Amino acid sequence: MEKIFKPQEDLLHPICLKGKRSAPPEDCGGKGGYYHLLKAINDPNHPDHADMLEWLEHEYDPEYFDADIVNKQLAEIR
Task: Please report, as a single letter, which amino acid is at residue 37.
Answer: L
Domain boundaries, position 74: 1-21+63-78
pLDDT in tens, the chain (78 residues): 677 777 677 777 788 889 999 989 999 999 999 999 999 999 999 999 999 999 998 888 999 999 999 999 888 876
Which residue, among 20, 29, 23, has the nearest Cα to 37 in the 3D structure?
29
The number of folded domains in the chain is 2
Which residue, among 56, 60, 77, has the nearest Cα to 22 in the 3D structure?
60
Q: Are residues 40 and 50 in the same domain?
A: yes
Q: Are residues 45 and 56 in the same domain?
A: yes
Q: Are residues 28 and 58 in the same domain?
A: yes
pLDDT value of position 64: 94
Q: Are residues 70 and 42 in the same domain?
A: no
pLDDT value of position 1: 67
